[in-house]
Amino acid sequence: MDLKTLTELNGISGDEGRVRRALMEAARPHCDEVSIDRSGNLICKKKGADPSLPEVLFAAHMDEVGFIIAGYTDDGLLRIRSVGGIDPRVIVSKWVLVGPDRLPGVIGAMAIHLQTMADRKKVLDYDGLYIDIGAKDKAEAEKLAPLGTYAAFDTAYTPFGEGMVIAKALDDRVGCYNLLRLLQGNYPCDITCCFVTQEEVGLRGSIGAAYGSQVEVALVFEGTAANDLGDVPESQRVCQVGYGVAVSFMDGASVGNRELFKLLPALAESAGIPCQIKQGVTGGNDAGSFQYGGDTGAGTARTMVLSVPCRYIHSGASVAALSDIDAQLHLAQEYLNNL
Amino acid sequence: MLRDTLKTLLNAWGPSGNEHNVAEEIKALLGGHVDAIRTDAMGNLIVEKYGQDDNAKRIMISAHMDHIGMVVTAIEKEGFLRVAPVGGLSLKASEYRHVVFENGVEGVLLSQPVQNGEPKVKDLFIDIGAADREEALSMVQVGDFAVYAPHVFPLGKHRIAAPAMYDRCACALLVELLLYAEDQKNTIVGVFSTQEELGLRGARVAAFAEEPDIGLALDVTGWGDTPENKLPDLKLGAGPAVKIMDAYMVASPMVRDALFEAADLADVAVQREVLPYGGTDGAAIQHSRGGVPTGTLSIPCRYVHSACETIDMRDMEGALKILLQFVNLI
């Protein structure tokens, strides 16, 4: 399954079914065992050649950020809330697809002709932004998009530049894509690939996956925020698109295992895989679940996060480099083949 | 001796997520004196001393090895290190501090002037004396951690100040308890925990894995006995404090009352701690799985999260006597 298909599927946190079905179908031929746990995580297991080696777990999240319908105006516009963190400044005038039938919609704002000078300086927030699906009144809007319907950015996957892509949901379909590719190979140890749910709303799915797995090592495939454009000083760039897979020493949810933090960049260097150290500690991801289980304490693993740098992450159009996506996969394979 | 153990542990390098040196010191101190010793994936050092009673309870006693520090996020071309805080680092306690990396590289922690307003923690940087990025990279890497340089010094006859007092004083107490407890009724599951400063992470995992019958956290608490500092109503030297509650936990009455009883038996004066903020590993143990009756015994500590965290050794000695009674009592 290609990255285009994966990013164009809509799977906002709590509504990962379409993505899960597609991944399950694509993964099944390459796995010894496929299951779905009670948190909705897709768990794919593959046996290795040497049963004496400890199993290694990989995780990527299936969900993406998006919107949920939370109310209506009398004239048929949909009131919305974000699911996961989306800056309301980046959503004005964006095309969206509403509900399972992908109804087209647009997030509207007052035309510039009608704005006062004060209006132009105001930042619109979720109380002042609506999805217009062309409904003639509230009753029709309720019928077409009942409360709780999800809406996703409508963005076509588009290659551009030299080996770059524009797409929505690169965070974390790049990780899902690479887990699928990982499962196609053969390795010395057993591997478990967890495609998890609800990362964007608080690392929820992965807690169930951690509880169910109890492994010693977990590597998390992520998309992470690159801050590498314009006048940003070098010390604040976090990571840069096109400079390889980003390895994390710490973020808001976990401290990377020190041995893995030394080992993985060294493996990358000796194998000629582009690799960079993520220069920032903000954000957090599923590694926290596998390391200490969030609030449950059900974690057991030494963890490391391998991220693909993405520009404009958590918006309708983010940008990544195919070479970085390949580097994420190759570093994981290098790790497995050197156990 | 409690004082020697404390000094040894205060000099060990160990910010959150990097507690292995502290664990090694503790292993060396305990070697041959305990029944089981192991390390988990989080780096928690878990030590057992079996109880003699047929119905011995498993009492998890937690003291965290980590303390606050900073981590290098970027290296400027002029050789300065940009850092992010690891745990509750404050600007006030950090400016002009001597800091040290695991490999021995030393530096000074400073803040840069800012255009509008006052500098914040994000404006801190480290000067390691490097002339440029190349020289700096020969000394440290992005992702290396640093701490306030260890410096242990006495204040008067009974008090000791040092960075990392929070929570190495509790580690020292737990080491001494494991050394001195003999043929005690209950099994002591001593957990020298990790990443407490980042959200009680190590203790959560240990509590989940060990499934104790009873929990006890050893930690420092605040102070109310310096100028214009009234709460919490606790004094240094007036005895260890039995926690009633803090922001994360109401101590389980059964454990709290056993601590009071143990203090009576040991003839040690204790204070009652009501802390309007903060939390300890006790909360992580208490809320684990189906719930674990848990209390906290605290050492009053001045200037918490600074390079001169100060405790009174008389409170430490009292706490050790209480703990030796507690493991037989409950």
Structure-token pair, residue A102:
């992908």
pLDDT confidence band for A275 (50 / 70 / 90): very high
Q: What is the pLDDT averaged over residues A327-332?
A: 98
What's the length of chain A?
Answer: 339
Give yes or no for A216 touching B (CB within 8 A): yes
Distance CA B181, CA B188 (A): 9
pLDDT in tens, B67-85: 999 999 999 999 999 999 9
pLDDT confidence band for A257 (50 / 70 / 90): very high
Q: Which residues of A touch B198 (CB under 8 A)?
A: 255
Q: What pLDDT is stored for residue B228 in this prediction?
A: 87
Q: Which residues of B touch A261 (CB under 8 A)?
A: 143
Q: What is the pLDDT averaged over residues A298-327?
A: 97
pTM: 0.93
Q: Which residues of B touch A227 (CB under 8 A)?
A: none
pLDDT at B247 > cutoff 90: yes
Q: What pLDDT is stored for residue A204 in this prediction?
A: 95
Q: Which residues of B touch A234 (CB under 8 A)?
A: 74, 76-77
Say if domain A66-153 classifies as CATH 3.40.640.10.
Answer: no
pLDDT confidence band for B208 (50 / 70 / 90): very high
pLDDT in tens, B254-292: 999 999 999 999 999 999 999 999 999 999 999 999 999
Q: Work out whether strand A78-83 and strand B309-312 pair parallel, antiparallel, or are unpaired.
A: unpaired
Q: Which residues of A touch B143 (CB under 8 A)?
A: 249-250, 256, 261, 277
Give yes or no for A293 touching B (CB within 8 A): yes
pLDDT at A156 > cutoff 90: yes
Q: What pLDDT is stored for residue A115 in this prediction?
A: 87
pLDDT at A233 > cutoff 90: no
Q: What pLDDT is stored for residue B55 in this prediction?
A: 94
Q: What is the pLDDT averaged over residues B113-136?
A: 94
Looking up tokens 């918490």 gives B304
Q: What pLDDT is stored for residue B185 in this prediction?
A: 97
Give yes or no for A234 touching B (CB within 8 A): yes
Q: What is the pLDDT averaged over residues B143-162?
A: 97
Q: What is the pLDDT averaged over residues A306-312?
A: 97
Q: Which among A216, A236, A297 has CB closest to B204?
A: A297
Q: Could you say which architecture CATH assigns to the domain B2-67+164-329?
A: 3-Layer(aba) Sandwich (3.40)
In the set B19, B25, B196, B210, the catalytic residue is B196
**Number of neighbouring beta carbons within 10 Å of residue B213:** 17
pLDDT in tens, A179-220: 999 999 999 999 999 999 999 999 999 999 999 998 999 999
pLDDT in tens, A98-155: 999 999 999 988 788 888 888 888 888 998 899 999 999 999 999 999 999 999 999 9
Q: What is the pLDDT averaged over residues A238-258?
A: 96
**Which has the closest alpha carbon to A212: A298, A292, A291, A297?**
A298
Q: Topology of A3-64+168-337 in CATH?
A: Aminopeptidase (3.40.630)
Q: What pLDDT is stored for residue B231 in this prediction?
A: 85
Q: What is the pLDDT averaged over residues A56-70?
A: 98
Are the CB atoms for B283 and B199 separated by under 8 Å?
A: no
Q: What is the interface pTM, i.e. ipTM, of the complex?
A: 0.90
Give yes or no for A302 touching B (CB within 8 A): yes
* Min distance B292 CA to chain A CA atoms (Å): 13
CB contact under 8 A, A258 and B20: yes
The residue ranges of every structural domain in chain B are 2-67+164-329, 69-148
Testing the interface with B: which of A217, A236, A237, A255 to mutate, by most B Cβ within 10 A? A255
Q: What pLDDT is stored for residue B2 in this prediction?
A: 95
Give yes or no for B141 touching A (CB within 8 A): yes
**Which has the closest alpha carbon to A152: A176, A172, A131, A126?**
A131
Q: What pLDDT is stored for residue A81 in this prediction?
A: 96
* Min distance B117 CA to chain A CA atoms (Å): 20
pLDDT at B192 > cutoff 90: yes
pLDDT confidence band for B212 (50 / 70 / 90): very high
CB contact under 8 A, B201 and A291: yes
CB contact under 8 A, A234 and B71: no
Q: What is the pLDDT averaged over residues A221-243?
A: 91
Q: What is the pLDDT averaged over residues A297-309?
A: 97
Give yes or no for B288 touching A (CB within 8 A): yes
Average pLDDT, chain B: 96
Q: Which among B20, B75, B201 has CB closest to A292?
A: B201
Give yes or no for A263 touching B (CB within 8 A): no
pLDDT at B197 > cutoff 90: yes
Whole-Å CA distances, B235 to A152, B63, B230: 58, 21, 10
Testing the interface with B: which of A232, A249, A300 to mutate, by most B Cβ within 10 A? A249
pLDDT in tens, A5-34: 999 999 999 999 999 999 999 999 999 999
pLDDT confidence band for B48 (50 / 70 / 90): very high
pLDDT in tens, A67-87: 999 999 999 999 999 999 999
Q: What is the pLDDT averaged over residues A243-269?
A: 97
pLDDT at A236 > cutoff 90: no
Q: What pLDDT is stored for residue B106 in this prediction?
A: 98
Q: What is the pLDDT averaged over residues B25-53?
A: 97
With a CB cutoff of 8 Å and minimum separation 6, the contacts of A324 are A241, A242, A243, A244, A245, A274, A308, A309
Q: What pLDDT is stored for residue B202 in this prediction?
A: 98
Backbone angles phi, psi at A195, to 5 degrees: -95, 110
Place domain B69-148 in its CATH homologous superfamily: Peptidase M42, domain 2 (2.40.30.40)
Testing the interface with A: which of B201, B286, B287 to mutate, by most A Cβ within 10 A? B201
Say whether B196 is catalytic.
Answer: yes
pLDDT in tens, B176-188: 999 999 999 999 9
Q: Which among A237, A250, A291 has CB closest to B42?
A: A291
List the single residue in A with minimal CA-CA distance to B203: A297
* Min distance B301 CA to chain A CA atoms (Å): 27
Q: What pLDDT is stored for residue B207 in this prediction?
A: 98
Q: What is the pLDDT averaged over residues A295-299?
A: 94
The residue ranges of every structural domain in chain A are 3-64+168-337, 66-153
Q: Which residues of A touch B203 (CB under 8 A)?
A: 297
Sign of the CA dihedral running B138, B141, B145, B148:
positive
Give yes or no for B122 touching A (CB within 8 A): no
